[in-house]
Amino acid sequence: MGGIYFHIPFCKQACHYCDFHFSTSIKYKNEMLEAMAKELRLQSSYLHTDRINTIYFGGGTPSILEASEISFLLDEASRHYDISNTVEITLEANPDDLGKTKIEAFRRTSINRFSIGIQSFYDEDLKWMNRAHTAQEADSAIKRVQDAGFDDITADLIYGYPLLTDEKWLNNIQKLVQLHIPHISAYSLTVEPKTALAHLIKVGKYKKMDDEQAAAQFLQLIETLDGYAYEHYEISNFALPSRYAKHNTNYWKSKPYLGIGPSAHSFNGLQRQWNINNNQQYITSINHQRVPAEVETLSEIDRINEYIMTSLRTMWGLDLEYLERLYGSAALGYVVSNAKQFEEDNKIYRERDCLKLTVSGKLMADYIASELFIEEGYEHEKI
């Protein structure tokens, strides 16, 4: 089965740290939704299957749409794919969009999971980020969604920025636990080029990020949520047992998915493609029956390295038996050999023929993965 990702490229305002593709104008919202419906038709054979088990509305801010507009896209998807067994349909939402009336309207759609961008329960922090909601709205939105009968909720938090003391960080984590949120995503704030945050730091209005602070708060996060029985099942994601985000888990397990909308990415097992990140050019191209996407065909080495990168980030780890079965003994030997130094340094451990990161290894997950990557000519190297 595959998944569908809808990129809704609209936001009320720009968060200082965000480098995702979006527009703060909804002037062409209807034209965009029509184009996304047309792209579904144009891409109907991309996944080589008509069976879909997850759908995810991301962005941007999907909750800026009306429930009827979400249903419009779901109805169009159902014309080209069998979504009758879709077990998870997620809507990313900002707290300021989640009034009682709108939540009740979403309840009448097929949406069964919310991903709510909380980021912080402190007004000064939200203002610093240029978020559109307040701390009170964050608290109220979660409770309203729960009161409407939605049990599957994930909430996002951000750490590692100058205003966030360890005490405030602990309070943010414990607040979500007290609200009985089954899934928590937490991200270290990174300064992306060409964002407002990068500019504010450059001109001296904001302090630089502190890597040591981010690392300490990451460890604080792991320890705290472990005490409440949350499983750290992916570097940035924690869930109560069996409450994992199915759509995102499919990404980490290299399952196929189709991305619809400007800047959306797709993967069908052999190729990746990504749509243009310009709203007007996207609409114009789709209206001319052409998907405006760049396509990359993955080599065997690309596929091995993607598996290394994604699997190592999860609690299931890098399955050595799977690696050998798909790519042979040379690939297995290469990875095992390169992993030895990290096993000796207590950054990686082996469990039931899987390589997994230790807590200290999680602090350098991307670096470790890159050191395990296969290089050209590995088949001929003596292991």
Q: What is the pLDDT along the chain (383 residues), one digit of tens a residue?
A: 899 999 999 999 999 999 999 999 999 999 999 999 999 999 999 998 889 999 999 999 999 999 999 999 999 999 999 998 888 999 999 999 999 999 999 999 999 999 999 999 999 999 999 999 999 999 999 999 999 999 999 999 999 999 999 999 999 999 999 999 999 999 999 999 999 999 999 999 999 999 999 999 999 999 999 999 999 999 999 999 999 999 999 999 999 999 999 999 999 999 999 999 999 999 999 999 999 999 999 999 999 999 999 999 999 999 999 999 999 999 999 999 999 999 999 999 999 999 999 999 999 999 999 999 998 877 755 44
Residue range(s) in the chain whose domain bears CATH number 1.10.10.920: 300-380
Instruction: Determine the 3-state secondary structure of 381 from DSSP.
Output: coil
Sequence ranges of the chain with CATH classification 3.20.20.70: 2-253
Q: What is the pTM of this model?
A: 0.95
Q: Which CATH number fits domain 300-380: 1.10.10.920, 3.40.50.20, 3.30.70.250, 1.20.58.100?
A: 1.10.10.920
d(CA 49, CA 115): 27
Report DSSP letters for 5-73, one per residue. Answer: EEEE-B-SS--TT--S--BS--TTHHHHHHHHHHHHHHTTTTTS--BEEEEEEEES-GGGS-HHHHHHH
Query: Which one-letter amino acid corresponds to residue 217?
Result: Q
CB 327 within 8 Å of CB 300: yes
Radius of gyration of the chain (CA): 21
Strand, coil or helix: 106: helix
Are residues 128 and 156 in contact, defined by beta-carbon separation less than 8 angstroms? no
Residue 273, token pair as written in the block: 């493609």
CATH 3.20.20.70 for domain 2-253, yes or no, is: yes
In whole angstroms, what is the distance from residue 350 CA to residue 357 CA? Answer: 9
Alpha helices of 275-382 — where are they, by DSSP H?
279-287, 300-312, 320-327, 329-344, 359-362, 365-372
Cα distance between residue 226 and residue 238, in whole Å: 9
Write the burial class of residue 100 (CB in 10 Å: 0-12 exposed, 13-18 middle, 19+ buried): exposed
